[in-house]
């Protein structure tokens, strides 16, 4: 990873997500008794979104385990990933991370969360397209039906 990406990614996660989200989600406007807090207090919606978030995070973990197990220790062998999520997209880890942020945006109903969702999903989509093209170039038998990040679309 280029050194500049370390700074870009750190800014992205710590400023856009961490500080920005923390400021808006924990601000006095969301305190108990405010109109926004009442709107956020739907327990059914929160349960559904929490389930979506947990599904997305566990799914993201599963795809990272699959990616980790692709290369035998101490080798530079590259293989086509198969399995959970990889049958429909090249980068299911980005798909599931995006889904987790959709759940967070829905739970907080914060413009900061929506902004972070858009920025992070856009960046992950760029990475997914790049990785998808790399897989197609490197492996002549790469599955033709796979999309980069969004199932059946892109």
Q: What is the pLDDT of residues 46-72, one digit of tens each?
A: 899 999 999 999 999 999 999 988 888
Lowest mean pLDDT among 74-78, 91-95, 98-102: 74-78
Bridge partner residues of 89 (DSSP): 147
Q: What is the pLDDT of residues 107-153, one digit of tens each?
A: 888 888 899 999 999 999 999 999 999 999 999 999 999 999 999 88
pLDDT of residue 95: 97
Q: Which carries the bigger pLDDT value, residue 2 or residue 67? A: 67
- Rounded to 5 degrees, φ, ψ at 120 are -70, -40
**Cβ(121)–Cβ(114) below 8 Å:** no
């Amino acid at each position: 990873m280029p050194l500049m990406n370390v700074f870009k990614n750190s800014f992205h996660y710590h400023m856009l997500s961490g500080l920005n989200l923390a400021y808006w989600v924990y601000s006095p406007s969301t305190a108990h008794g405010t109109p926004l807090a009442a709107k956020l207090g739907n327990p059914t919606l929160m349960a559904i979104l929490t389930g979506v978030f947990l599904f997305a995070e566990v799914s993201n973990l599963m795809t990272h385990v699959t990616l980790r197990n692709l290369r035998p220790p101490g080798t530079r062998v590259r293989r086509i990933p198969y399995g959970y999520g990889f049958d429909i997209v090249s980068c299911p880890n980005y798909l599931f991370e995006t889904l987790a942020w959709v759940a967070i945006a829905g739970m907080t109903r914060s413009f900061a969360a929506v902004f972070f969702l858009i920025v992070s999903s856009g960046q992950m989509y760029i990475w997914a397209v790049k990785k998808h093209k790399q897989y197609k170039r490197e492996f002549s038998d790469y599955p033709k039906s796979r999309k980069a990040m969004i199932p059946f679309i892109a």
